[in-house]
Structure 1
């Protein structure tokens, strides 16, 4: 097993559980990206930092990475799930609902 990169380790340290109310302002500004639960949130963040456009485009084409929709926001507002995790990769905030 290889050691995680310094970037990966830094992202892990900046990733945290979060409440929907704290994400709402980012959603309102169009800065919220939803990461599918099948993906590694930290790996997606690292791909954005490293400008790995091939992987990012692939995830977007497969609907595994997308802008948060109004429907998604309404659902999270109603349910207020305790399983939301987020990390800031400026200008984006990546969010993932873990099951």
Structure 2
């Protein structure tokens, strides 16, 4: 399982909202609270760690973007995020 963590760590990148729009259009964006490690959340989702994921959802630490957030980001396509893909999702953390 360490391979998953290593691979995901290498896949984390800083990207602009403009690149994420197609993923938002297919409802695949998950926002990770800045208090969490993007890598830890990605690994938990990749490993299907339902206990951790459900806890984060219940605490609103991982969420889907609101319509207001989508509207704001669409108006600022240069807004940067740290992101990683865990199929079929794209996990993001605003910078």
TM-score (norm 2): 0.91
Match of 2:58 in 1: 61
Q: 2-side partners of 1:8 and 1:49: how far apart?
A: 9
Question: Number of aligned pairs?
Answer: 94
**Once superposed, which parts of structure 1, at least 4 consecutive aligned residues long, lie more than 6 Å away?**
none
Per-residue deviation, 1:77? 2.5
Deviation string 1:53-83 (CA, Å, 9 cap, x unpaired) is: 000000001111011221111222334323x
Q: 1-side partners of 2:91 and 2:60: how far apart?
A: 14
Match of 1:38 in 2: 35
Q: 2-side partners of 1:76 and 1:55: how far apart?
A: 28
What is the CA RMSD across the aligned residues, in angstroms? 1.5
SS in 2 for 1:68: coil
2:57 is the counterpart of 1:51: no
Match of 2:79 in 1: 81
Match of 1:10 in 2: 7
Per-residue deviation, 1:39? 0.4
